[in-house]
Structure 1
């Protein structure tokens, strides 16, 4: 069933007017008509099933019928990633949403050589990925900050898994073995890697854990996907999944 993210509050029998873009998507692209059902969520009120009540030139109105799933959030995990080329950062945003990151924080490092971030475009990519994957919220895409500024205002309880391409750190799963649960962040550097000064700063942080993603140098999008996958397996919401 089609899922849509909407900003409005969601309650029983509410008449939800979709914006023009969503209305056109439902009627012109997906060919939905009066009586067809759609799932909607807003990141606060759970996932609701609604039926198309009005489908006209002025837009679509859904009548909310029932709460399908109560609101739930995944692990409190941030992905902190250096700006890279547009196509790669868009892939990173999409996969971060699919893999359960709650926020994506963009950073500028000494060796950053990426395109200017279009936050509206990146947020739209995150929204579409959240709709398709069945998650109950949409990751927030945070405006780029210089790495030093980000670390200066760091939320102290949040642990930082620092993916270090230097090669002398423990593998990710070994680095996370026995780690305390709680809020975490994963840091992925630019294509040229962190500078020696940045690496020294990161390794001296009490809340940072260096980790290796293996013997090969990975592109930023591959590194982000790999690190998110390993973290979810070790610390996240994959741990309770049963294998049939």
Structure 2
């Protein structure tokens, strides 16, 4: 039985047995200077197209690293088409939201400016880097897309007609999230295979005008997240977990590995 591989890297290049892959400066630095790996060390490389493969370090130096792809460990599998649309929050909590959204299977992260958003800009590169690191650590096969921040009006105007939205409305009259999701599943047992999004607001909540505009849209299901006031990052995690538990892929068995 082969030794368990612990290090995983996302690779944009095609992966196939016997091919050589050169890493960029950041990945090479991480393997050489942070993990202190040497030629001959084994790691896993993956992407959403080709799956996860074992690879061996052929050579490594300052700012460069060459890998030989060895064999397939896991084939790519279908994943939920689930977006997280969220009002950006302060830096540390934004990092937390990105990390947890990736772990909870989101396929796209879309920050959106609302009336009470208390952040003036979003570092999309940092958001993408956090998403990549989380994907490498949680053993998912793909990286979520990360979009630049847009206004709420622009979001609504460009919304795909076939994508349903679970809106965390923070309203006493909103339907409990579990009830709403179970109703959706009762109407269509395959609803989780359709495109979805979860939307959460800023720390100050949505304005009445924003809620009115959103709840009138035909693709929106407005839900509440319980009797307590949740922070914006907590609300995102709670809503995504509820969606995954009822409509998502949490019923899947753990993936088979060839070297575990």
Distance 1:37 1:115 in 2: 43
Superposition deviation, residue 204 in structure 1: 0.8
Query: 1:18-57, aligned counterparts within 5 Å?
Result: 18-57=23-62
1:134 has 2:139 as partner: yes
| TM-score normalised per structure 1 | 0.95
Aligned length: 242
Superposition deviation, residue 29 in structure 1: 1.6
Which ranges of structure 1 fall in alignment gaps of 5 or more residues? none
Does structure 1 retain, via aligned residues, the 8 Å contact 2:18–2:70? yes
Structure 1, residues 203-234: CA drift from partner, whole Å, max 9, x if none? 11111101010111111100001011111001
- The correspondence for 2:154, drawn from 140, 149, 154, is 149
Match in the other structure for 1:16 = 21
Does structure 2 retain, via aligned residues, the 8 Å contact 1:160–1:187? yes
Distance 1:196 1:58 in 2: 52
Superposition deviation, residue 241 in structure 1: 5.1
Superposition deviation, residue 201 in structure 1: 1.1
Does structure 2 retain, via aligned residues, the 8 Å contact 1:85–1:115? no
Distance 2:247 2:172 in 1: 23
Distance 1:113 1:157 in 2: 31
Q: Residue 213 and residue 63 in structure 1: after superposition, are their counterparts in 2 closer, same or farther (change >3 A)?
A: same
Structure 1, residues 38-76: CA drift from partner, whole Å, max 9, x if none? 111122211111011112335211100011111224211
Q: Residue 39 and residue 207 in structure 1: after superposition, are their counterparts in 2 closer, same or farther (change >3 A)?
A: same
Query: 1:89-238, aligned counterparts within 5 Å?
Result: 89-179=94-184, 180=188, 181=191, 182-238=194-250
Distance 1:221 1:18 in 2: 33
Superposition deviation, residue 20 in structure 1: 1.9
1:60 has 2:65 as partner: yes
CA RMSD of aligned residues (A): 1.4
Does structure 2 retain, via aligned residues, the 8 Å contact 1:37–1:50? yes
| TM-score normalised per structure 2 | 0.89
